[in-house]
Amino acid sequence: MIGIVIVSHSKQLSDGLKELADAMSQEPVPIASAGGIDDPEAPLGTDAIRIMEAIQEVMSDKGVLVFSDLGSAKLNAEMALDLLDDDERKNVRLCDAPLVEGVLAATVQIASGGDMDAAIAEAREAARPFVDGAGGAGAASDGATEEGAAREFRIKTVHGLHARPAALFVQTVNRFDGPVRITNLTKKKPAANAKSINGVMLSEVGGNDVIRLSAEPAVADDLFAAIEDLVASNFGEAERAPDVPEGEPEQEAEAAPQAKAVTSGTLKGAAIAKGFAHGPIRQIRRALPDEVEATEVDDRDGEVDRFRAALAASETELRAALDAKGDGIAAYDRKIFDAHIAFLHDPALTEPVETGIRERGVSAGSLWRDAVADLSKSYRGLADPILKARGEDVIDVGLRVLRHLSGDAGEVAGATEAAILAFDDLRPSDVLTLDLDTVLGIASAYGGKTSHAGILASGLPVPVVFGLGVDLTGIAEGTDVLLDGGKAELTVAPDKALLDEIEAERVRLEKRRAEAQAVKNDPAVTKDGVRVRAAANLASLEEVAAVAQSGAEEVGLLRTEFLFMRREAAPSEDEQYDIYRQMVEGLNGGALTVRTVDIGGDKPVAYMDRPEEENPNLGWRGIRYSLAEPDLFETQLAAILRASAHGPVRIMFPLVSTLEEVTAGKVAVRKVMDVLKERGQAFDETIEVGIMIEVPAAAERASLLASHVDFFSIGTNDLTQYVMASDRANPKVQKLCDPFDPAVLSMIAKSIAAAHEAGIWIGMCGAMAGDPLAVPILLGFGLDEFSMAAADVAEFKLTLKGLSRADCEALAKKALEQESAAAVREMVAAG
């Protein structure tokens, strides 16, 4: 039998693909995996010698088919061919096809007795899964005629004809001569080639779907009998799809849920951006229309030109929108739009349109809508949320082109009157082109945080809620609504009581804010004259001005993750230096505490090549990761140190658990200092080096650690979740995740006492530091620095003015004796 060799940069990928392909076929096809290189330090890559050996392993007189992933894998596969003897080489073919789909398609074809050419053809068809019905995989070009014998079958496997059942089906059909076609009657799919795994997959046969098979009369009876057997044995699967009750109409597969008129009540969705908005709703339709009227065109060339002009105009528009944003758009976001532009050039979208115009004289708009609908549906049907989100991008581009085709050139989301915009489906480009002057808030029926529109909208200064459901579109234009971005709720026609409540809350907050603003530049002193340091947390260059004006004396925590995320490669030393320098220069002499990067398994960073972790919070992050990646770590340390020549800077290591980590971190600092000296670059030799106290082990050994560092800073979010062993993102247990729990408070008290005993200062940079209820307790424990969101600093100073250290010490002592977090809160609230 023909052998297959899988060449991938990743051994896991090629091994996994072999596993998958092995499971696809009844007849074992010899498959060899040649992934990765033999270097545990840098295992990604390909090795021509390993590929050559893999070819020899599966070699027979039938030949070998080699699949490879990216660029250099192909080079190495070619190299491997050169290394073979002439005799061996003549039976080996390289196949240019998408790796996963190609290998699976070829495996099924080979298992069905296909020859080399058939396997290659089938694998290549997998490259164009979206052009069904337009000459691609499984289209009518196989010469089958509707006049052949036909029979209908109901497929009862739970997932229909997918994976194994699909492969079994194709292998069975391939035992018979002549063209065989499959039509999914339930989903009204066009007929496809039943001998092609792609044709069958694209027919999307689900459990309970009815298919029609047509074949030449000579083979029809035997073929149908064989399929009958397969269906009777349920393709060897135990589980069957539940029966559809007799007489009841079957659910339309793609029937859009209908919105009912909504005049009151509250819709719940997914929180994207916080804030309140109250005002009239403005409905904006951004779903792909169900149909664009098809007309017959006489001038077919003219219509093709018109279509191309619409594509070009769309591209110009996208590029102009990007240019207008300039540097105000992250590289990652820019990529989303680069992908949009790429769609405009994608033959999977454009070819069916041009062919349809040329061959059938159909107008471009209708063909384009259908091509967009098909492609987006293919994406949306995928399980991977990232790929799924591309379906939304396809529709976004699709609508833009449709707009140009219909001659309507205006952008969509401009409003003249301030309103809350309700989208049936928000597109990424909508976010980019919003006119925020007239937008009070944004609501969308569909979408979530991981959608591209969600990622973009999360940065908007107005409340944004997605996923409110189709009922959102049933709210009449102009209806009065209240959008609460924090709670992710939209209340239709809010009653006076609710509005009054929110208004009263708003007034109260505003009054307090005004009082706080009046004292924001005062020193942070209690009424009995105890001075502490009010600091702000910082997470991007854009926030520096806000921090400088907030009344904060310094930055207690700079989260550097922003520098590393949503980009393609780690930032260089100069890039980081430049940003840290601008920050410290923007702080009017206040110190900048730079925390080295803490990227965990829960925050994917493409270029960091991190393994997926079962427990990212307990995993390879913080100082653990930095110490394992010296290049990354030392680059960052060098940048921080160089910035220290421009103003007071501190270095802080996150997620420290042991003294060993502290020592290793300090060794790295010293090493980088030597390098800088050698380079003749200036830095502050007396720079303070401290650690986060956020792991219970560190709090427990605070006395030991304190003698090795210059300061501590308590991270309450992580400390709380580790002390309480509860995930704050898990709604079932997040109640446990309360920093007021006496167990957490005790850890905090202990760390503060240990720091002072060793003669170092200690701060707190978690959410708790800015909580007015927590301030008296922390003050009572003796905390030196309170670092919080810049917006909370003024209020913190106001709170502080009302407290005395002596009272707080007694209160803090009492807090440690309480039974529960709730009891602590009650006690503090009671004063």
Partner 1 sequence: MTEMLTGATVRKWIEKTAAVMAENRTYLTELDKAIGDADHGNNMDRGFKAVVEKLPEGDDIGALLKAVSMALISKVGGAAGPLYGTMFLQGSKPLMGKSEISFEELAQFFEDAVAGVKMRGKAEAGEKTMLDALVPAAEAFRKAGDLDAGLKAAVEAAEQGMKDTIPMIAKKGRASYLGERSRDHQDPGATSSYMIVKALEDAVSEAA
CB of 44 to partner 1, least distance (A): 7
Query: Rule CB under 8 A: is residue 470 a binding residue for partner 1?
Result: no
Given the rule CB under 8 A, which of 39-47, 235-243, 369-377, 658-666 is the region that contacts partner 1?
Answer: 39-47
CB of 75 to partner 1, least distance (A): 4
Please state the separation of Cα 7 from the chain's center in Å. Answer: 28
Query: Rule CB under 8 A: is residue 476 a binding residue for partner 1?
Result: no
Query: Rule CB under 8 A: is residue 41 a binding residue for partner 1?
Result: yes
Radius of gyration over every alpha carbon of the chain, rounded to an integer in angstroms: 32
Query: Rule CB under 8 A: is residue 515 a binding residue for partner 1?
Result: no
622-647 per-residue burial string, b: 16 or more CB within 10 A, e: under 16: bbbbbbebeebbbbbbbbbbbbbebb
Distance CA 574, CA 255 (A): 55
DSSP-derived pairing of the beta strands 276-284 and 419-423: parallel
**Helix, coil or strand: residue 600:** coil
Containing 483, the helix (H) or strand (E) segment is strand 480-484
Following DSSP, what letter does each residue of 601-613 receive, concatenated? TTS--GGG-PPP-
CB of 607 to partner 1, least distance (A): 7
CB of 581 to partner 1, least distance (A): 20
Dihedral sign, CA of 84, 86, 88, 91?
Answer: positive
> How many residues make contact with partner 1 (CB under 8 A)?
24
| Identified binder of partner 1 from the candidate list 71, 302, 347, 486, rule CB under 8 A | 71
| Identified binder of partner 1 from the candidate list 572, 707, 730, 820, rule CB under 8 A | 572
| Identified binder of partner 1 from the candidate list 382, 518, 569, 618, rule CB under 8 A | 569
Query: Rule CB under 8 A: is residue 225 a binding residue for partner 1?
Result: no
CB of 608 to partner 1, least distance (A): 12
Kindly tell me which of 632 and 803 has the beta carbon lying closer to partner 1: 632
Kindly tell me which of 79 and 541 has the beta carbon lying closer to partner 1: 79
Distance CA 600, CA 747 (A): 24
Query: Rule CB under 8 A: is residue 39 a binding residue for partner 1?
Result: yes
Kindly tell me which of 306 and 642 has the beta carbon lying closer to partner 1: 642
DSSP-derived pairing of the beta strands 533-538 and 489-492: unpaired
Query: Rule CB under 8 A: is residue 510 a binding residue for partner 1?
Result: no
Fill in the per-residue mask, 584 to 613: x = in contact with partner 1 (CB under 8 A), - = not in contact: -----------------------x------
* Phi, psi at 758, each rounded to 5°: -85, -5
Distance CA 144, CA 319 (A): 45
The CA-atom distances, in angstroms, between 26 and each of 29, 118, 491, 680 are 9, 18, 56, 68
Query: Rule CB under 8 A: is residue 37 a binding residue for partner 1?
Result: yes
DSSP state of 141: G
Distance CA 400, CA 341 (A): 11
Active site residue 765: yes
Kindly tell me which of 49 and 767 has the beta carbon lying closer to partner 1: 49
Kindly tell me which of 300 and 671 has the beta carbon lying closer to partner 1: 671
Query: Rule CB under 8 A: is residue 495 a binding residue for partner 1?
Result: no
User: Pick the catalytic residue: 95, 737, 765, 808?
Assistant: 765
Cβ-based burial of 708 (10 A; exposed 0-12, middle 13-18, buried ≥19)? middle
Query: Rule CB under 8 A: is residue 46 a binding residue for partner 1?
Result: yes
Residues 631-690 that bind partner 1 (CB under 8 A): 631
Query: Rule CB under 8 A: is residue 575 a binding residue for partner 1?
Result: no
Residues 790-829 that bind partner 1 (CB under 8 A): none
**Are 584 and 648 in contact, with CB atoms under 8 Å apart?**
yes
Cβ-based burial of 263 (10 A; exposed 0-12, middle 13-18, buried ≥19)? exposed
Residues 75-114 that bind partner 1 (CB under 8 A): 75-76, 78-79, 82
Kindly tell me which of 11 and 124 has the beta carbon lying closer to partner 1: 11
DSSP state of 328: G
Distance CA 727, CA 198 (A): 43
Active site residue 9: no
User: Pick the catalytic residue: 278, 452, 646, 808?
Assistant: 452
Instruction: By CB under 8 A, name the binding residues for partner 1.
Output: 9, 37-39, 41-42, 44-50, 71-72, 75-76, 78-79, 82, 569, 572, 607, 631
Q: Which residues are catalytic?
A: 452, 765
